[in-house]
């Protein structure tokens, strides 16, 4: 097993290209202990970036993350998000404090605006910058922003400090490859790929299965390896099973050939024109 490749963030610091998601975690007390074990298994395997949000289970996912990282906080990179309805100047600070409390930590390593809402970007960025100066967050970014949104963000005071953009990206949803991904790559911004298995729809996809068979791998591993082959992409699959987490980890060791990539292009054609940014 080789090490997971690192992604360098703007402003310094690096994170593993393969992390863990928590969407739908924290929704059931009965499942919480298993979710904690799965996250801890991923940390043990080097998947030390954990993505969560105040929206997920109304903060329940953050509580699960907090319990999973207890006693090992310094070895984990935590990403969380503020809801757009809370993203005013004061609201962002209050939301961050609430997330910190649920996470049981004094800092969030990367804090994202979950998607655009009614509050001006200037207010949200001002709050992010204040939180960063206070040491409450290490860096900040956005989620579900298209190129025009990113360009507007850069026009705001302090907007050029953005570190990452988290968007829907997987082999079946490649729209960002036409413009957003090249735009971000050219500026050294990290792209975080959420729903990398397309909400489970790619788990048994025949095209992925054919490629997987030639490597002694699984279809999910091929889907993750496809994303991991991108230079500035961070992939955050979610799993509540330590066994599935271990399977996801092996995707970082899978090197796809040029024939594999051609087969993926045939099964999931890359975009030839601008497409609306997809969201789930």
Active site residues: 56
How many Å apart are CA 206 and CA 219, to the nearest integer? 8
Partners of 168 in beta bridges: 194
CA-closest candidate to residue 141, choices 197, 199, 72, 188: 188
Contact in structure between 251 and 17 (CB atoms under 8 Å): no
Contact in structure between 23 and 57 (CB atoms under 8 Å): no
Burial class (CB in 10 A: 0-12, 13-18, 19+), 118: exposed
Burial class (CB in 10 A: 0-12, 13-18, 19+), 3: exposed
How many Å apart are CA 123 and CA 211, to the nearest integer? 47
Task: Write b or e for each residue in 147-177: b if 16 or more Cβ atoms lie within 10 A of its Cβ, otherwise e.
Answer: bebbeebeebebbebbbbbbbbbbbbbbbbe
The answer to whether the annotation marks 114 as part of a ligand binding site is yes
The CA angle 185-51-265, to the nearest 5 degrees, is: 45
How many Å apart are CA 159 and CA 152, to the nearest integer? 9
Annotated binding site for substrate: 114
């Amino acid at each position: 097993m080789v090490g997971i490749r690192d992604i360098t963030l703007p402003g310094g610091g690096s994170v593993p290209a393969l992390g863990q998601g928590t969407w739908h975690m924290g929704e059931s007390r009965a499942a919480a202990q298993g979710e904690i074990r799965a996250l801890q298994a991923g940390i043990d395997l080097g998947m030390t970036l954990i993505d969560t949000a105040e929206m997920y289970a109304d903060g329940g996912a953050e509580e699960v993350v907090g319990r999973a990282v207890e006693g090992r906080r310094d070895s984990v990179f935590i990403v969380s998000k503020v809801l757009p309805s809370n993203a005013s100047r004061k609201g962002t600070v209050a939301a961050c404090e609430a997330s910190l409390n649920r996470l049981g930590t004094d800092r969030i390593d990367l804090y994202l605006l979950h998607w655009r809402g009614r509050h001006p970007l200037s207010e949200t960025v001002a709050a992010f910058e204040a939180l960063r100066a206070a040491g409450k967050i290490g860096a900040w970014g956005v989620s579900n922003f298209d190129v025009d949104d990113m360009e507007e963000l850069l026009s705001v005071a302090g907007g050029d400090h953005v570190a990452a953009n988290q968007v829907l990206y997987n082999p079946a949803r490649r729209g960002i490859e036409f413009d957003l991904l090249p735009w971000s790559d050219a500026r050294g911004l990290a792209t975080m790929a959420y729903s990398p298995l397309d909400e489970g729809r790619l788990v048994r996809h025949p095209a992925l299965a054919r490629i997987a068979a030639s490597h002694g791998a699984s279809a999910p591993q091929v889907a993750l390896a496809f994303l991991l082959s991108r230079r500035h992409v961070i992939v955050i699959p979610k799993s509540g099973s330590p066994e599935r987490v271990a399977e996801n980890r092996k995707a970082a060791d899978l090197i796809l050939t040029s024939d594999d990539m051609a087969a993926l292009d045939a099964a999931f054609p890359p975009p030839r024109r601008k497409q609306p940014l997809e969201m789930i």
